[in-house]
Structure 1
Amino acid sequence: MAINHVILHEVKREKDGERVKVNLRKKENNALGLAGSLTDSLIELFTHSTLNIGEFAVDGDPTIDPAFEQTLAEHYDDLECSDFIVMTTVMANRYAAIMRRPKLQSVKGGLLIFYEYESRGKIWLALAVLQRADGYDISDDLELEASQIIDINKLHLGAAINLTDWEEDLSSRYIKFKTGLAAEVRDYFEDFIGCQRDKQAAIAETKSLKKSIQDYAKNTLGMDDDVVQFKVDDAHSFIKQQLKDGLEVKLTEVANRVFPDTPDDFLVLARETYDVGEEVAISNTELKKYLRISGKASGVSISFDRSLLGKSIIYGNDGKLTFNEIPPILKEEILEELASRSNEN
C-alpha cells in the first residue's frame, strides 16, 4: 500500500453565517515524507469506518455525470492524473461554493485532504474532511504548550473512489463514503461528491460476511463442513441479537465472537479479500440463508443449505423431496448397505 499524491486545502467558516475562508496549497504535500504510520492511517480511514457504498449519479440517474466525476474524467486518463494540484483546487473551490449556499450557513467545513493511493492492486482517490482539535505539545524545555491537532483516525466526512473500477467500468459499487447522520450534512456532502447509495449493499455485504466466515474456517483453519456451519450459525445468532437490541453489526465484534482465538487474522481476510467494512449492512433475507433447512422425524434427519433448494434439491407438488446430488460418503454408505443386504439374501 502506498500514497502517490497528497495535498491539503482548507475550506471553513468559524461561526454560523460567517464568510467561508479558503486556503489552497499551490503544490502537493510530500507523499514520500509521510511517516509510515500516517500513510497506514490515511489508507485505513476507508476500511475501518462506517461507510456507505455507491456510484456517481445525478438525481438517481447513474448515466449523468455529476460535477465531481466530470473533474475526475478531465484529469485522469488510464489511471494517471495529469495535474493533481489543479484537479483538487477545482474540487475545493466547488466545495466552498456549496458551503456558501443560503441554506448551508451552519456548515463549518474544515481541512480537505485529497490523496491518491494504491491498495489491493487498485488505485483509489480519497477525500476526507478533517477537523482541528485543541491539544497540547511539549517544548524542547519540557513545557506544556497549547496546540491544535488533527485526529487522523476519526473520519467525519469523506469518500474514496475506486478509480480502477470506475475508469474500467468494472463495478457499480466503486465509491465508499461517510456523510454523517444529520440530514443537512449528509445531503450537501453527497451533492458535492455526486454519489448515490447502493440499495443492494446490504444484500452484498451480508453475503460477503458469510463467505468470509466459511472461507476462513474451512481454508485457513481447516475445519470440516459441520464445524464451518457451526461458525456460520454462531454468526447468525450474534447478528440477530444485535439487530434485536437495535445495535450496529460491527465486523470486529463478529470476529471476536466467531473466531475468539484469531480475530485479527479473520479481519484481514474479510477486509482485504471480501471487502467487508467495519459496520456491516445486514439484509434479513440474506441473513436467514445463514441457517440450513433441517428437520428430523421417524429415524430420518435431513439438513442442507437453503441455496440448494430448487437446484440440486427439489421439493415437488406431491410432497416428495428429491436429491439430484448426494455426498460421496453418503452414497458409498448406501451402496455398502445395499450390497450387505444382497449378500445376506
Structure 2
Amino acid sequence: MNISASNIILHSLSYNPEGILQCKMREGELPISASIDEFLTKLHRTYQSKTNKAFASFGDKTDKSPLFREALTDYMSQQLDFVRFSQKTASCLVEELQKHDFAEEGILLISKYSWTASDYLFIALLQNNHSVSVNENLELQESQHIETSKIQLVARIDLTLLARDPQSNRYISFIKGRAGRKVSDFFLDFMGAQEGFDAKEQNQGLMKAVDEFCENQALPVAKKKEVREVAFEYCNEQLKQGDDIELSVLSEQLQDSPKLEGSFYDFVSEDYQLENSFPVDRSVVRKLTKYVGQGGGISISFDQKHLGERIFYDANSDTLTIQGIPPNLREQLKRDNFADDNQKDDQNPPF
C-alpha cells in the first residue's frame, strides 16, 4: 500500500570551511508528483522494515527543548504554514547538533503524508551520495543520489494519534541505536521528547505469555503448535496491514480456531505488563513458528512443524538429526566433501 503525500520540503545541512554547521533552507515546498510519491513510499517502506524502532512522546512543557514542540503545535493549529514550520524545525535541529560532537550533515527531509487512515510527519537526515555513471557519449559523469535503502537518522510523528490521544506514550517513533546512546538519540533531544514503551520488549512479553498460557492450559504438543501458528498468522497479518497487535482480538482468534477453553486475554491481564495494543516486531514474532539459534560459528533456523518429523533432537547427546537437508546446502557439502576426498587421495597415492 502506497502512501499519499501532501507536503515535502528539503533543507541542506553542511559545515563551512570554519567548521560551523550551516543550513541552506528552501523557501518553498517541492511540488507533489508521481515521482515524489514513489520516492517517499520507498522511504516509508524502508522505515517500516526497520526492527530497531523505539517509541516516544513529548516531555513536560518545562523541558529544556520545547521549541520544536511549540512549532509543531502552531503548525497543527494552522498558525504556521508547512514551509515556516519546516524552517523552524531545521533551526532546532542545527542548534541541537551544535551541542554535540556529531559531524552530521546531509539533506534534511520533512514531509507530511497519509497512510492507513493516519497522518504522519516524517523527518529524516539523509545522505547525499556521489556516484559515477556513463552518459550516452560514453563519458564518465558524476552525479548525486539519496540512498533510500539505508536510513538511520529518522523520526516519525503520528499526527492523528497525537491529536486524538495527547497522553499516549507512542505517537513518536524513531530508529534506535543498537547499543548505548547513539547519534540517532539526538532526534529525541531536538524534539524535546522522551522515550516511551519498548515495542520489542512488548513482543517478547507476548511470546512468553503464549508459551506460558499453553503450559497453564496443559495443552498437548500438537495443540500448542496450533496456538503458536494462529498467533503468528494474526501478528503477521497485522504487520502486513501496518496495524498493531490487539490482545483482545488475538484472544478471540485463539478461542475460535484452536477452540481453547481459557481466555488468553484474561491470562495476560493478570501477570503480564503488556499494553492492550502495540506494534508488531517481525524479528520477535517469527520465533512463534521457528526455532532459531546461533553461536560458535553455527546458525540454525527451522520451522517448528519439522521437529519430530524431519528434524529430531536427542537431549542426552545434545544432537540434532536432519533428514532431507536443503538442496543448495547439499550441493555445497557434496562439492567440499569431494574436494576433501581428492586431497586425501593425493596425500596417499596407490603406489
TM tier, shorter chain? 0.5 to 0.7
Q: Is the 8 A contact 2:46 2:149 kept in 1?
A: yes
SS of the residue aligned with 2:150?
A: coil
- What CA distance in whole angstroms lies between the structure 2 residues aligned with 1:305 and 1:116? 41
Q: Partner of 1:180 in structure 2? A: 177
Q: Partner of 2:27 in structure 1? A: 26
Cα distance change, pair 231–192 in 1 and its aligned pair in 2 (3 A): same
Q: Partner of 1:53 in structure 2? A: 55
- What CA distance in whole angstroms lies between the structure 1 residues aligned with 2:189 and 2:14? 18
Q: Is the 8 A contact 1:137 1:147 kept in 2?
A: yes
2:38 maps to 1:69: no
TM-score, normalised to structure 1, is 0.58
Q: Aligned AA for 2:22?
A: K
2:95 maps to 1:97: yes
Q: Is the 8 A contact 1:117 1:124 kept in 2?
A: yes
RMSD between aligned residues: 3.9
- What CA distance in whole angstroms lies between the structure 2 residues aligned with 1:190 and 1:30? 29
Q: Is the 8 A contact 2:169 2:197 kept in 1?
A: no
- What CA distance in whole angstroms lies between the structure 2 residues aligned with 1:86 and 1:173? 26
- What CA distance in whole angstroms lies between the structure 2 residues aligned with 1:177 and 1:82? 24
Q: Partner of 2:199 in structure 1? A: 201
User: Deviation at 1:144?
Assistant: 3.1
- What CA distance in whole angstroms lies between the structure 2 residues aligned with 1:39 and 1:266? 26
How many residues are treated as equivalent by the alignment?
A: 241
Q: Partner of 1:163 in structure 2? A: 159
Q: Deviations over 1:146-202 (max 9, x none)?
A: 322210122111111000111222633101112535636244322112222113534
Q: Partner of 2:8 in structure 1? A: 6
Q: Deviations over 1:3-35 (max 9, x none)?
A: 1000000112279x7111211101101222535
Q: Deviations over 1:308-341 (max 9, x none)?
A: 55999xxxxxxxxxxxxxxxxxxxxxxxxxxxxx
Q: Is the 8 A contact 1:209 1:274 kept in 2?
A: no
2:17 maps to 1:37: no
Cα distance change, pair 267–154 in 1 and its aligned pair in 2 (3 A): farther
Cα distance change, pair 98–304 in 1 and its aligned pair in 2 (3 A): same
Q: Partner of 2:290 in structure 1? A: none
Q: Is the 8 A contact 1:107 1:185 kept in 2?
A: no
SS of the residue aligned with 2:27?
A: coil
- What CA distance in whole angstroms lies between the structure 1 residues aligned with 2:151 and 2:79? 25
Q: Aligned AA for 1:88?
A: S
Q: Aligned AA for 1:119?
A: W
SS of the residue aligned with 1:183?
A: coil
Q: Is the 8 A contact 1:157 1:180 kept in 2?
A: no
- Aligned pairs for 1:1-345 within 5 A: 1-13=3-15, 18-49=19-50, 50-57=52-59, 61=60, 66-77=66-77, 82-101=80-99, 104-169=100-165, 171-181=168-178, 183=181, 185-199=183-197, 201-206=199-204, 228-231=226-229, 267=236, 269-275=238-244
Between the aligned residues of both structures, percent identity stands at 22
Cα distance change, pair 82–145 in 1 and its aligned pair in 2 (3 A): same
5+ residue gaps, structure 2: 210-221, 246-250, 255-259, 271-351
- What CA distance in whole angstroms lies between the structure 1 residues aligned with 2:41 and 2:229? 31
User: Deviation at 1:269?
Assistant: 3.0
Cα distance change, pair 207–228 in 1 and its aligned pair in 2 (3 A): farther
Q: Aligned AA for 2:189?
A: D
SS of the residue aligned with 1:189?
A: helix
SS of the residue aligned with 2:33?
A: helix
- What CA distance in whole angstroms lies between the structure 2 residues aligned with 1:157 and 1:41? 16
